[in-house]
């Protein structure tokens, strides 16, 4: 397998401009002769489908939700970065590029990150034109806030609902195209396979979640914008239905899966309250603008937080990272919390959290200002915990939140299967080993609005005059039959345990051995336990109901089955990457102060895994990373 | 932490055309720290263990933002807690020994798919008819070129907070969708960017709404049920714009 990133020539600032000039174009009158499939209607997929529809292509968009407004992009709270420099505090495209490469711990491709920073400014313009109600100053201009890993204010926001507002912007543009007949939307349809004919992506096989019917759809190109795989851990901040199936099915058909071990643990989630918990709820990183994180100095502390005097509190982030303080990047803030909790200094009934305290900010700015900034987050916290953050500090703990790894893509966002693209969280490209806050929305929209619609023509142009492979082609028939048999198979096992029961067990293995801190021993243990549990799943799964009607238990079975295979390559990737970087922390590789220790001599590369038919033995390929602009250095936030 | 022993009466229905009925399911040993949907997860897990079909219900983010979850709980859309979607409702709002009646959204425009899951596609049709600002990718001017007074941006955001869950329709005795439609109309019609299509938008959206939903008679139940507490003032704004649209000469739109 060849990993050619196809990075354009020229200086970093010229690459994207050069590319856009040199790529092949499809003239507007010819675009209607092309069919493009887009799977997923979050920020990346919805934006790509809407924009391709506007440009004149025939687009078929697929979502497993009831509507194109539900994808998990909607839950992003804090904001979206853009190098607008509206605050005049020294921001620039280059600085956003620099911060993102450094924040990703030097494991991202420079050219992609620079392009992302360039497009960031267009996203804000585009979203504003669509009517996204970003927060404003009294003078009517756009407001900004600060986020982790940056020393400038570049984060645009819409209260604590930025993801929702940006997704509704996308949904509105997509709805317009649906109304105009340029995009056909297939809702409640889940991708169950990708079809490759003569080495090119030919189409997809989907299962109708209402009728259970399996059908095929073909096109000249297929875009997967199907999100990340955090739910491999069972408990994460992702929505319940988030899964890896589309990306995994693509992987099984030849798309390399890159850096699967890069998972982001977000520092500010509400701690787990008991075993029945179905998911974790995030509290936006923006809270760290005004909240101070601390824990008691003594593990034996029993007083309520307001009675613990300053002298007995440890504001450990401010102590360890004085220049970034409470706004240290996510991976660093998460690990610091783990160190305190592991030392027995955790707070709350299960001693599994640290405090995020707003009392200083309320005293300084007044309750009204804090309410204006974070009111909806405080309410959400109170609904869940029955405690008001205006009166008592929040309790927070890290939780799996985002996956930087994903399908390997080149500069054009094409996977190793020609004609198959991956956008948004589903690809691996822009965040390296750690994503900075407010960068996920930026990447999803950059890919969807500005990158894919520019790069896809380079593949489509030479196909002028060809027809998509008909869906009665043997490859489609084989894939349909296999999918039908797979789902019938889950129903036929007749074992004793539900898909959720298995998922929960898999998640525990992953959290214990492939979570915030990884060791060789632990990963090897996981690699022996996961296949054994997967084998039990195959023999002892129980799915009730039928395959011919809505059956959420059956849907879940298919997703968990794919998580089992993914989990193995996540652990393998973590085991082979003998260094610590960003969200991947190997206990064997740390400095004396407990900071991550990279090994640039051996691991300054992307690891991309090729499917071999055996989930325990994929083939590892590498794409070397070159840093010509941001020089490799130890990442310090002290 | 308290333990609750509950009796659930859950609506079960195989498909849009079948007859449904209530299924009485005992739910003992419910921890009051659970969310309402986690309680249903547990009930489903027990049903699967007994070899029975799990109860189908829509849900996803469980953070009160995606708008996928629904449920009439004891006759109230999203249950008893004000300003709270079902997924954010916790069992501490219930007492030991309670009987809880759980039904799907009840509205002709939202046909039942299975059990507690309904089809809300009519909402998408309303948005497709005009719930957008025409701004194709690529041509946008700088975002700060039009200053928007903060009160305007805030009001637009208040309306834009709608999560499209359908509680307003389910709570309305007429199954009207005026709160949903007016929230989208107001979000866009309040903003300077939305002025060019203001009249066309409200006409198209209201007309499409009326193809599917009942009429508003100002009961105000929608506002009470809305998990985002969207105000019925937006309905007044929509009505005013709709009326104005009927008289507005579109060629003079640029004049005050």
CB contact under 8 A, A281 and B121: no
Q: Does B17 touch chain A (CB under 8 A)?
A: no
Report the alpha-carbon distance of residue A480 to residue A216 in Å, rounded: 7
**A166 chain-B contacts, CB cut-off 8 A:** none
Residues of B in contact with A240 (CB under 8 A): 59-62
Report pLDDT for A330: 87
Give the per-residue pLDDT at A634: 86
Spatial distance between the Cα atoms of A404 and A426, rounded to a whole number of angstroms: 9
From the number of C-beta atoms within 10 Å of its C-beta (0-12, 13-18, 19+), residue A466 rates as exposed
A394-403/A354-357 β-pairing: antiparallel
What is the number of other CB atoms lying within 10 angstroms of the CB of residue B215?
11
Question: Both B173 and B241 in a single domain?
Answer: yes
Do B90 and B147 fall into the same domain?
Answer: no
Among 2.30.30.110, 3.30.70.20, 3.90.700.10, 3.30.700.30, name the CATH number for the domain at A265-401.
3.90.700.10
* B contacts of A74 (beta carbons < 8 Å): 61, 65-66
Nearest residue of chain B to residue A126 (CA atoms): B140
- Residue B200, chain A, CB below 8 Å: the answer is no
Cβ distance A276 to B113 less than 8 Å, yes or no, reads no
Sheet bearing A200-208, strands edge to edge: A189-197, A200-208, A214-218
Q: Which residues of B touch A554 (CB under 8 A)?
A: none
Give A184-199 as a DSSP string.
EEE-SEEEEEEEEETT
What is the count of residue pairs from A and B with beta carbons less than 8 Å apart?
Answer: 219
- Same domain assignment for residues B234 and B159: yes
B25 touches chain A (CB under 8 A): no
Top residue of B42, B57, B63, B190 to mutate, by most chain A CBs within 10 Å, is: B63
Contact A552 B35 (CB under 8 A): no
B69 touches A: beta carbon within 8 Å: no
Q: What is the least distance, in Å, from the CA of A376 to any CA of chain B? A: 10
| Nearest chain B Cα distance for residue A542, angstroms | 7
| B55 in Cβ contact with B115 (< 8 Å) | yes
The domain spanning residue B210 has which CATH number?
A: 1.10.1060.10
User: For domain A15-263+402-463, is the CATH number 3.50.50.60?
Assistant: yes
Q: Does A505 touch chain B (CB under 8 A)?
A: no
Same domain assignment for residues B86 and B126: no
* Number of domains observed in the structure of chain B: 2
Q: Copy the structure tokens of residue B104.
A: 């799907």
Distance of CA B228 to CAs A240, B162, B164, B185, Å? 21, 6, 10, 16
Cα A355 from Cα A317, distance rounded (Å): 12
Q: Measured between CA atoms, how close is B176 to chain A, in angstroms?
A: 20
CA A263 – CA A235 distance, rounded (Å)? 13
Question: String of b and e for A268-289 (b: at least 16 CB within 10 Å)?
Answer: bbbbbbeebbbbbbbbbbbbbb
Alpha-carbon gap, residue A607 to A619, rounded angstroms: 10
A172 closest CB neighbour out of B88, B121, B127: B127
Find the DSSP H helices in chain B.
36-49, 121-130, 150-160, 167-171, 178-190, 198-212, 221-225, 233-247
Domain endpoint, select from B87, B114, B141:
B114
Q: Rounded CA gap, A163 and A573, in Å?
A: 30
Clarify whether residues B141 and B53 are in a common domain.
no
Q: Does A383 touch chain B (CB under 8 A)?
A: yes
A4 part of contact set with chain B, CB < 8 Å = no
Within 8 A of A552 by CB-CB distance, chain B residues are 54, 56
Cα distance between residue A569 and residue A536, in whole Å = 19
Tell me if B185 sits within 8 A of B234, measured CB to CB.
Answer: yes
Phi, psi of A524 (to 5 degrees): -65, -35
Q: Residue B142 has which token pair? A: 């700088």
Residues in A closer than 8 angstroms to B151, CB to CB, are none
Instruction: Tell me the chain A residues in contact with residue B83 when contact means C-beta distances shorter than 8 Å.
Output: 379
Is B54's CB within 8 Å of A553's CB?
Answer: yes
**A216 alpha-carbon distance from chain centroid:** 27
Q: Give the start-to-end residue ranges of the domains of chain A.
A: 15-263+402-463, 265-401
Q: At which of B79, B114, B149 does a domain end?
A: B114
pLDDT of residue A210: 97
Tokens (6 digits) for A555? 């849907």
Q: According to the 3-state scheme, what is the secondary structure of A325-353?
A: HHHCCHHHHHHHHHHHHHHHHCECCCCCE
Contact A408, A255 (CB under 8 A): yes
A402 sits in which H/E element = strand A394-403
Task: Give the CATH number, domain containing residue B87.
Answer: 3.10.20.30
How many residues appear in chain A? 638
Residues B170 and B213 in one domain: yes
In three state form, how does the secondary structure of A78-108 look?
CCEECCCCCCCCCCCHHHHHHHHHHHCCCCC
Q: Do B42 and A276 touch (CB under 8 A)?
A: yes
CB proximity A61 to B under 8 Å: no
Q: Report d(CA A38, CA A47) in Å as an integer.
A: 10
Q: Does B35 touch chain A (CB under 8 A)?
A: yes
Cβ pair A65, A41 in contact under 8 A: yes
Task: Tell me the CB-side half-sphere exposure of residue A63, using CA atoms within 13 A.
Answer: 22
User: By C-alpha distance, which of A7, A201, A2 is closest to A619?
Assistant: A2
Measured from the Cβ of residue B33, the count of other Cβ atoms closer than 10 Å reads: 19
Facing B60 at nearest CB: one of A126, A241, A380: A241
- Which A positions 306-365 lie with beta carbon below 8 A of chain B? none
Residue-number span of the structural domain to which B210 is assigned? 121-252
Query: Nearest-CA neighbor of A425 among A211, A228, A573?
Result: A228
B positions 83-122 inside 8 Å of A (CB): 83-84, 88-90, 92, 113-114, 117, 119-121
Which residues of chain B does A86 touch, with a Cβ-Cβ cutoff of 8 Å?
144
Q: Which of B70, B99, B114 is the last residue of a domain?
A: B114
- B137 vs A68: CB contact, 8 Å cut-off? no
- Predicted confidence at residue A594, as pLDDT, reads 82
At CA A90, angle to CA A84 and CA A95, rounded to 5? 75
Which residues partner with A183 through β-bridges?
A59
Please give the Cα distance from B156 to A158 (Å, whole number).
11
- For residue A203, the surrounding DSSP H or E stretch is strand A200-208
- How far apart CA A482 and CA A487 sit, in angstroms, is 9
8 Å CB contact of B84 and A383: yes
| Tokens describing residue B116 | 């507690």
The 3 state secondary structure assigned to A251-286 is HHCCCCEECCCCEEEEEEECCCCCCCCCCCCECCHH
Distance from CA of B21 to the nearest CA of A (A): 18
Handedness of CA A348, A594, A260, A267 (dihedral sign): positive
User: B69 and B45 in one domain?
Assistant: yes
- What tokens appear for A305 in the block? 């937080």
Q: For chain A, say whether B160 makes contact (Cβ under 8 Å).
A: yes
Question: B106 and B136: one domain?
Answer: no
Inter-chain residue contact B121 with A66, CB threshold 8 Å = yes
* Closest Cβ–Cβ partner in B66, B84, B135 for A129: B135
**Residues B135 and B202 placed together within one structural domain of the fold:** yes
Sign of CA dihedral A247, A250, A251, A255: negative
Contact of B230 with B147, CB cutoff 8 Å: no
Residues B89 and B40 in one domain: yes
What are the residues whose beta carbons fall under 8 Å from the beta carbon of A526, sequence distance 6 or more? A509, A510, A512, A513, A514, A567, A571
Coil, strand or helix at B226:
coil
* CB contacts, 8 Å: A133 with chain B: 153, 156-157, 160, 187, 191
Q: Which residues of A touch B157 (CB under 8 A)?
A: 133, 135, 158-159, 165
Answer whether A560's CB lies under 8 Å from A537's CB. Answer: yes
| pLDDT tens per residue across all 256 residues of chain B | 789 999 999 999 999 899 999 999 999 999 999 999 999 999 999 999 999 999 999 999 999 999 999 999 999 999 999 999 999 999 999 999 999 999 999 999 999 999 999 999 999 999 999 999 999 999 999 999 999 999 999 999 999 999 999 999 999 999 999 999 999 999 999 999 999 999 999 999 999 999 999 999 999 999 999 999 999 999 999 999 999 999 988 888 888 7
Q: Are residues B206 and B233 in the same domain?
A: yes
Q: Which residues of B173-199 are buried (b: 16+ CB within 10 A; e: fewer)?
A: eebbbbbbbbbbbbbbbbbebbeebbb
> Which are the catalytic amino acids of A?
330
Spatial contact of A490 and A557, defined as CB atoms under 8 Å apart: yes
CA distance A237 to chain B (A): 9
Q: Residue B185: its chain A contacts at CB < 8 A?
A: none
C-alpha A8/C-alpha A24 separation (Å) is 14
* Below-70 pLDDT ranges, chain A: none
Q: What is the SS3 assignment for A445?
A: helix
Give the HSE-up count for residue A460: Cα atoms under 13 Å, Cβ half-sphere: 29
Instruction: Verify that B97 and B166 share a domain, yes or no.
Output: no
Taking an 8 Å cut-off on Cβ atoms, the answer to whether B88 and A384 are in contact is: yes
Q: Does the distance separating the beta carbons of A550 and B137 come in below 8 Å?
A: no
Nearest by CB: A133 against B41, B42, B156: B156
Check residue B249 and give its pLDDT.
Answer: 86
Contact between A100 and A116 (Cβ < 8 Å): yes
């Amino acid at each position: 397998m060849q990993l050619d990133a196809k990075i354009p020539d020229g200086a970093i600032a010229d690459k994207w401009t050069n590319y856009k000039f040199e790529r092949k174009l499809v003239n507007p009158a010819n675009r209607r002769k092309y069919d493009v499939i887009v799977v997923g209607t979050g920020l990346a997929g919805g934006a790509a489908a809407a924009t391709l529809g506007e440009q004149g292509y025939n687009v078929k968009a697929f979502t497993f939700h009831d509507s194109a407004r539900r994808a998990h992009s909607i839950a992003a709270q804090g904001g979206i970065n853009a190098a607008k420099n509206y605050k005049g505090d020294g921001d620039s495209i280059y600085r956003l590029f620099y911060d993102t490469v450094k924040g990703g711990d030097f494991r991202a491709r420079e050219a992609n990150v620079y392009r992302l920073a360039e497009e960031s400014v267009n996203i804000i313009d585009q979203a504003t034109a669509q009517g996204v109600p970003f927060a404003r100053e009294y003078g009517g201009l756009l407001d900004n806030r600060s986020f982790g890993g940056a020393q400038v204010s570049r984060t645009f926001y819409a209260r604590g609902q930025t993801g929702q507002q940006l997704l509704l912007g996308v949904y509105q543009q997509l709805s317009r195209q649906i109304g105009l007949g340029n995009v056909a939307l297939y809702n409640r349809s889940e991708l169950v396979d990708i079809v490759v004919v003569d080495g090119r992506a030919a189409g997809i096989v989907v299962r109708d979640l209402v009728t259970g019917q399996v059908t095929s759809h073909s096109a000249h190109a297929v875009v997967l914008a199907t999100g990340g795989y955090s739910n491999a851990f069972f408990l994460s901040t992702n929505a319940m239905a988030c899964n890896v199936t589309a990306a995994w099915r693509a992987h099984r058909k030849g798309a390399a899966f890159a850096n699967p071990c890069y998972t982001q643990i977000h520092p500010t989630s509400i701690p787990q309250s008991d075993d029945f918990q179905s998911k974790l709820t995030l509290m936006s990183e923006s809270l760290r603008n005004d909240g101070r994180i601390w824990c008691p100095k003594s593990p034996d502390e029993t007083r309520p937080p307001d009675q613990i005097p300053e002298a007995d509190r440890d504001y450990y982030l401010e102590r360890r990272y004085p220049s970034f303080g409470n706004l240290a990047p996510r991976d660093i803030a998460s690990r610091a919390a783990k160190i305190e909790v592991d030392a027995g200094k955790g707070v709350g009934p299960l001693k599994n959290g640290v405090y995020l305290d707003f009392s200083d900010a309320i005293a300084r700015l007044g309750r009204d200002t804090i309410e204006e900034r974070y009111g909806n987050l405080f309410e959400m916290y109170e609904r869940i915990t029955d405690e008001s953050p205006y009166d008592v500090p929040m309790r927070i703990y890290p939780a799996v939140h985002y996956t930087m790894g994903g399908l390997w893509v080149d500069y054009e966002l094409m996977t190793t299967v020609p004609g198959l693209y991956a956008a948004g969280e589903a690809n691996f490209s822009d965040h390296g080993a750690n994503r900075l806050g407010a960068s996920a929305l930026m990447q999803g929209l950059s890919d969807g609005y500005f990158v894919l619609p520019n790069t896809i023509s380079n593949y489509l142009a030479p196909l002028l005059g060809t027809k998509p492979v008909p869906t009665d082609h043997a490859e489609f028939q084989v894939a349909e039959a296999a999918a039908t048999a797979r789902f019938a198979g889950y129903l036929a096992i007749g074992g004793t345990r539900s898909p959720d029961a298995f998922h929960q067990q898999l998640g525990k293995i992953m959290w214990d051995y492939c979570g915030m801190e990884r060791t060789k021993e632990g990963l090897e243990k996981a690699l022996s336990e996961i296949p054994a549990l997967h084998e039990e799943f195959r023999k002892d799964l129980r799915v009730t109901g039928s395959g011919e009607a809505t059956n959420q238990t059956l849907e879940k079975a298919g997703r968990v089955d794919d998580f089992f295979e993914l989990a193995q390559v996540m652990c393998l990737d973590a085991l082979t990457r003998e260094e610590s970087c960003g969200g991947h922390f190997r206990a064997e590789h740390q400095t004396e102060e407990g900071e991550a220790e990279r090994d640039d001599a051996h691991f300054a590369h992307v690891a991309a895994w090729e499917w071999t038919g055996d989930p325990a033995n994929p083939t590892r390929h590498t794409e070397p990373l070159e840093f010509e602009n941001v020089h490799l250095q130890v990442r310090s936030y002290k | 932490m308290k333990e609750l022993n509950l009796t659930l009466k859950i609506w079960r229905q195989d498909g849009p055309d079948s007859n449904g009925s209530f299924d009485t399911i005992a739910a003992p040993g419910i921890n009051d720290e659970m969310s309402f949907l986690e309680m249903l997860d547990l009930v489903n897990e027990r049903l699967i263990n007994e070899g029975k079909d799990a109860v189908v219900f829509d849900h996803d983010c469980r953070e009160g933002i995606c708008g996928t979850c629904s449920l009439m709980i004891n006759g109230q859309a999203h249950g008893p807690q004000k300003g709270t979607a079902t997924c954010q409702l916790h069992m501490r709002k219930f007492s030991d020994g309670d009987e809880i009646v759980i039904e799907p959204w009840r509205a002709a425009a939202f046909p039942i798919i299975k059990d507690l899951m309904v089809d809300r596609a009519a909402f998408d049709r309303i948005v497709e008819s005009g719930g957008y600002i025409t701004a194709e990718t690529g041509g946008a001017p700088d975002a700060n070129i039009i200053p928007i007074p903060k009160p305007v941006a805030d009001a637009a955001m208040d309306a834009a907070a709608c999560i499209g869950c359908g509680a307003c329709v389910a709570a309305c005795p007429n199954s009207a969708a005026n709160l949903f439609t007016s929230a989208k109309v107001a979000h866009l019609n309040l903003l300077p960017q939305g002025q060019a299509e203001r009249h066309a938008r409200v006409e198209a959206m209201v007309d499409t709404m009326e193809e599917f939903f009942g009429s508003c008679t100002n009961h105000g139940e929608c506002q009470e049920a809305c998990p985002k507490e969207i105000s019925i003032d937006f309905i007044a704004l929509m009505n005013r714009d709709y009326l104005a649209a009927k008289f507005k000469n579109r060629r003079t739109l640029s004049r005050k």
